[in-house]
Chain A
Amino acid sequence: MGTRIFLMVCGLALPAMAQEADYGFTLPATLSAGGMYSHAWQQATPTAGPLEPGFQLMLYPSIKLGKHWYAYGAVDLNLSPYYPFQDDSATNRFKVYIVQGFLAYNRTKGNKSLTVKAGQLSTAFGSFPLRYDDAQNPLLGAPATYGAPAYGFFPVTLYGLPGMEVDTSFGPLDARLQLTNSSIANPKNLLQNGQSLNWTAGAGYTVRHGLRVGMSLNHGPYLQVGRFLLPSENSSQWPFTAVGVDGQWARGRFSISGEWQRFYYLYPRYIMSPVLKYGYVEPKIVLNPRLYLACRVGYEWFSDFQTINMAAPAELTPNRQATEVALGYRINRAQLLKVGYEWPHQNGVLNSQNNIFGVQLVTSIDAISKAFH
């Protein structure tokens, strides 16, 4: 017996191996598929049907390049319209966006951290871009000011910008500064004309565990020649300025997040430039381990505007409100079924033709990962 045990124990010595790889590749993904039923996009494209199926695949290829360096990607492949904000393109179109693709350096020590990133970056303005993934967003749609690149139509692009960013946190304080090649209201890639330096700064304070308030500022040229700008005009004279305040609170089964934003568009030959203000609040409650209920109530307020050719200020567009509710059911650890309904309305007047009923099945795919020894 003693000999048997001896032989067995001799085989126990395994080389010690670190739990965390310093070098490695990982590829988490989120696949969501669903459909929306609404007559909203028939107003843009009369031939469109009320039912629009779609899907989105978010891939996050990332490489760890040591203790502090890493490369990170976020690629969005979708068949639009997948989100309510894509209702201006009512035909099924396959789109690919590189939302993020950057090289980063990170140092964390105790309650201090510093991250420097360069490449394609998600905007540092506002807080919703942090939960753009369907597995993070408890609802089906996005807040009204976030959306696809559309020259100011959605002031805050969700699809990233080339640039660089420094993020830091020191105890309860956090701050960030981002420089990008173009405006969040008129994003450009590195090959397009009309690029100009824009900056975004943000800061936050964690009042206590679970309660954080933050603010962000964005400023820079956004107009381009041929669209409001004459060839002789300099876009930096008419910048776009955005101010945002955000807050998050969570405790137990309850959480609330919200934002208030103000966007100021300066145009040449305008006596009165338009201002857009937007705010939303988004409460969520976990009803049981499988079921949650979330809601987003948002209000968009548009100022009047006046050009030099107009005798009096005019309404830019009626104020808009939207209420969205969603029920989420966790089928298993990886799959979430969301059923949502949105009531968009203008100046408080409901138009049921624009209501959107949507269903999403979201599947979080465990990361394919490989540690390099």
Chain B
Amino acid sequence: MYRKTITAAVWLGASLSAFPAHAGEIRGLVQVRVGLTKKQVTLPNYQSRGLAAPQPDAGTIDELSRIVVYLEGSMGAVTPVTKEIKQRNRRFEPEILAVPQGSTVSFPNSDPIFHNVFSLSKLKSFDLGYYPMGSTRLVRFDQPGAVQVYCHLHSDMSALILVTPNQFYAQPSSSGAFKFAGVPAGSYSIVAWHKSAGLFRKTVEVPEDGGVDVVFEIPVLVSTAGK
């Protein structure tokens, strides 16, 4: 395991160092030092009748899959996209999603039971009502910001949609690396948002040519040396 980690690290180090130093590039790494996501205690959904309710997946917690990174501030025109948040096994998948403003998110129901997806966020409030397995509903997000999404029927289901004002958003790779290319020169706030731990903001100066490195350590560790 340790050998594998070192191999991956050397590869990643070499890869990051080998990024072409184009103007306006942000190269980053997100490092999660401790487990941030609480295990969930979910009881069988016996308080309903009818079709058997699926059990939540017992899969492992991948902290990096619960993080998105994006740049704050408007930077010209954006290209909207269509992405998906599934309702599967009484969970939203993924639990955190970044899309540029004007994008559409589809909410397919992959469970044999009903969900009732809703949001009361000021940016975008909606109630998608009841729809069966295999059906979906679309919601368009025009305003940048954070939209919390829940299910009326299953209170432990939640998802977060981060609507960015520009094209620069990413989910870290399995090694924690991410890259924004073609960023205009200037000073920017870059945010790493963890679904449970919240947002972590840094300021980066993107030069006219070349790139800049940024590292997020989540949670932020405060040095106590000398105290």
Contact = CB atoms under 8 A, between A and B. Distances in A.
Interface in A11-33: 11-21, 24-26, 28
Interface string B180-219: 0000000000000000000000000000000001010000
A134 B150 CA distance: 19
B43 interface: yes
B224 interface: no
Given A252-B130, A252-B131, A289-B118, A19 B46 contact: no
B155 A289 contact: no
B63 A14 contact: yes
B155 A212 contact: no
A108 B42 CA distance: 14
Contacts of A167: 46
B138 interface: no
Nearest to A105: B44
9 contacts: A2-B17, A9-B13, A9-B176, A16-B61, A130-B48, A169-B50, A204-B49, A289-B127, A370-B41
A240 interface: no
Contacts of A366: 155
Interface of B: 1, 5-6, 8-10, 12-14, 16-17, 29, 31-35, 37-44, 46-61, 63, 112, 114, 118-120, 125-127, 129-133, 148, 150, 155-156, 175-176, 213, 215
A172 B113 CA distance: 11
Contact of B32 (A12, A250, A288): A12
Interface of A: 1-3, 5-6, 8-21, 24-26, 28, 62, 64, 70, 72, 104, 106, 108, 110-113, 115, 117, 127, 130, 167, 169, 171-172, 174, 176, 202, 204, 206, 208-210, 212, 214, 250-255, 286, 288-290, 330, 332-333, 364, 366-367, 369-371
Given A9-B13, A11-B33, A12-B5, A333 B150 contact: yes
Contact of B60 (A17, A250, A369): A17
A8 B10 CA distance: 11
A9 B120 CA distance: 39
B60 A5 contact: no
Nearest to A23: B41
B75 to A, nearest CB: 27
Contacts of B60: 16-19
A289 B120 contact: yes
A209 B135 CA distance: 11
Contacts of B213: 1
A214 B129 contact: no
B114 A250 contact: yes
Contact of A12 (B31, B40, B119, B132): B31
